[in-house]
Amino acid sequence: MTGRKKWMGIHAALMMITTILLAATVSMADGDAVVPAGKSELDKWFNNNVKPFKEQKSLDAALVTAEEGAKVVKVMQDGGDYKKIMEAIDSIPAGNTKRVIVYIGGGTYNEKITIPKNKPFVTLVGDSKNIPNLTYSGDAAKYGTVNSATLAVESDYFTAANLNIINSSPKPDGKREGAQAVALRVSGTKAALYNCKMYGFQDTICDDKGYHFFKDCYVEGTVDFIFGSGKSLYLSTHLHVLGDTGMTVITAQARDSKEDTGYSFVHCNITGTAKGTFLGRAWRASPQVVYAYTAMGEVVSPEGWTDNRHPEYDNSVNFGEYKCIGPGSSMSKRVKFTKELSEADAKPYISLSFIEGSKWLLPPPNPKV
C-alpha cells in the first residue's frame, strides 16, 4: 500500500510538471514570454521566441503563403535589377500576395520612397557591410508633416533591415514655419525594423498606426521624434536627443481615450546632447508610453514627463516606468502622474503579446544574393 501511495505521489508530481511545461510552451507560442531582465539574455530570448516562418505554428495564413513564394530583386547603383529603390517598388504588382525582398546595395539614394497600401509583404534590406543611406529633404511646409517622410510605409507586413533613413531638411530654428520633417512613417500594420537608423530633428518617426516592432535600431531627434497612434515595441533601441533651444521630448503618443495603442521601450538606451528632455508629453488626452529596463542618461529631465500644460490630462495619461537604470531614471522628482510599475503592471508591455507578435513577427531577413 505504501509503495502504491508513493507511486501515485510521483505520478501526480510528474503530471503537474508536464502541465506546467505545456502551459509554458503554449504561452511562448502565443507570444507571452516576458522579456528577460538581463540584457545579455536578450538575443537568446529573441531567437527562442521568434523563429523562421517554417518553425512557427500561429502565423497569419496570408503571411505563410507570402513567405513560401518569396523572391529577391536587387537595387544597386552599379548594376542590379534597378538603380533606384522606387523603380523596384513600382515593379511590384498591386495586390501583391508574395514576399518581395528588395536588396539594396551600398551608397546614397536620394529618393522619396512610398510603399503604397496595395503592395503588402515588401522587405527592404541593405547590405550589412555597406549600409545604404536613404535620404530626402521633405518638410511640412511643402508636403505636410505626415507626408514629408523620406520612407513612407502604407502597406502591411513590411520588413526592413540594415538601412540609414535620413530626412536631410535643416534643423528647425523656431522661426521657419513647416520645419517638421519626418524620416520614417509607418502607417501599415505588422511592420518590423531591424538594425535601422533614423535621423531627423522634429518628428523623426511618425509611428502612425498598427502593430510595429523595432529591434537594434537608432533614432535621433529633438522634439516629438517618435509620434503617432501606433502600438509598438522598441527593443534594444538607442534614442539620441539632440540639443535644441526649445523643449526636447522623445515621444508624443496620440491616444485620445482608451483605444488599444501605445509605445513600449524595453532595454533601450537614452543619450544625447540636450538637457531636461522629457520621456513623453501629453499631445492628446490619454497617451500610453512605458519604459522598462531602459538606461537613462543625464539628458532625461528629473521630472520625466510633461502634461503639456494640460493638468486635466493628469488622470488620463498612462506614463509608466519599470526597473530603469542610469542617472536619468531616478523617481524621486518625477511628476505626480508618473506610474512606477509593479511586475504585474509591467508584464503586458514587456512581451511580444503587446504587438500580437506570434501572428506575424519573423527574424531579420537574410536573403541570398
Residue 87 is part of a domain; what is its CATH number?
2.160.20.10
pLDDT of 368 reads 83
194: number of CA atoms within 13 Å, CB side?
Answer: 17
Give pLDDT tens digits for 268-289. Answer: 999 999 999 999 999 999 999 9
Residues 128 and 97 placed together within one structural domain of the fold: yes
Please say if the pLDDT value at position 13 is more than 50: no
The answer to whether residue 175 sits within a structural domain is yes
Residues 183 and 84 placed together within one structural domain of the fold: yes
Q: How many domains does the chain have?
A: 2
Mean pLDDT is lowest, of 12-16, 43-47, 253-257, for: 12-16
Dihedral of CA 179/284/296/356: which sign?
negative
Are the C-beta atoms of residues 252 and 230 closer than 8 Å to each other?
A: no
Q: For the chain, what is the mean pLDDT?
A: 93
pLDDT category of residue 28 using cuts at 50, 70 and 90: very low
Residues 186 and 293 placed together within one structural domain of the fold: no
Please say if the pLDDT value at position 117 is more than 90: yes
Catalytic positions, please? 224
Task: Give the span between the Cα atoms of 87 and 301, in whole angstroms.
Answer: 45
Grid cell listed for 191: 511592420
Grid cell listed for 34: 516576458
The answer to whether residue 48 sits within a structural domain is no
Residues 263 and 315 placed together within one structural domain of the fold: yes
Question: Quick one: average pLDDT of 12-21?
Answer: 43
The answer to whether residue 67 sits within a structural domain is yes
The answer to whether residue 33 sits within a structural domain is no
Residues 243 and 125 placed together within one structural domain of the fold: no
The answer to whether residue 244 sits within a structural domain is yes
Task: Give the span between the Cα atoms of 288 and 345, in whole angstroms.
Answer: 13
The answer to whether residue 28 sits within a structural domain is no
Residues 168 and 224 placed together within one structural domain of the fold: no
Question: Quick one: average pLDDT of 7-28?
Answer: 43
Residues 178 and 318 placed together within one structural domain of the fold: no
Residues 164 and 185 placed together within one structural domain of the fold: yes
More confident residue, 153 or 3: 153
Residues 196 and 274 placed together within one structural domain of the fold: no
What pTM was estimated for this model as a whole? 0.92
Question: Quick one: average pLDDT of 352-366?
Answer: 97
pLDDT of 31 reads 63
Q: Which of 150, 181, 207 is the last residue of a domain?
A: 207
pLDDT category of residue 369 using cuts at 50, 70 and 90: confident
pLDDT of 16 reads 45
Residues 171 and 282 placed together within one structural domain of the fold: no
Question: Quick one: average pLDDT of 28-35?
Answer: 70
* CA 187 to chain CA centroid, nearest Å: 12
Q: Which of 179, 207, 235 is the last residue of a domain?
A: 207
Q: Domain residues for 112?
A: 61-207
pLDDT of 11 reads 46
Residues 164 and 219 placed together within one structural domain of the fold: no
To 10 degrees, the CA torsion angle through 145, 149, 154, 159?
Answer: -140
DSSP line for 216-261: S-EEEESEEEEEES-EEEEES-EEEEPP-SS--EEEEE---SS-S-
pLDDT of 244 reads 83
Q: Which of 175, 207, 239 is the last residue of a domain?
A: 207
pLDDT of 20 reads 40
Question: Quick one: average pLDDT of 230-250?
Answer: 96
Give the C-alpha distances (Å, rounded to integers) separating 66 from 71, 183, 191. 10, 28, 14
Give pLDDT tens digits for 178-230. Answer: 999 999 999 999 999 999 999 999 999 999 999 999 999 999 999 999 999 99
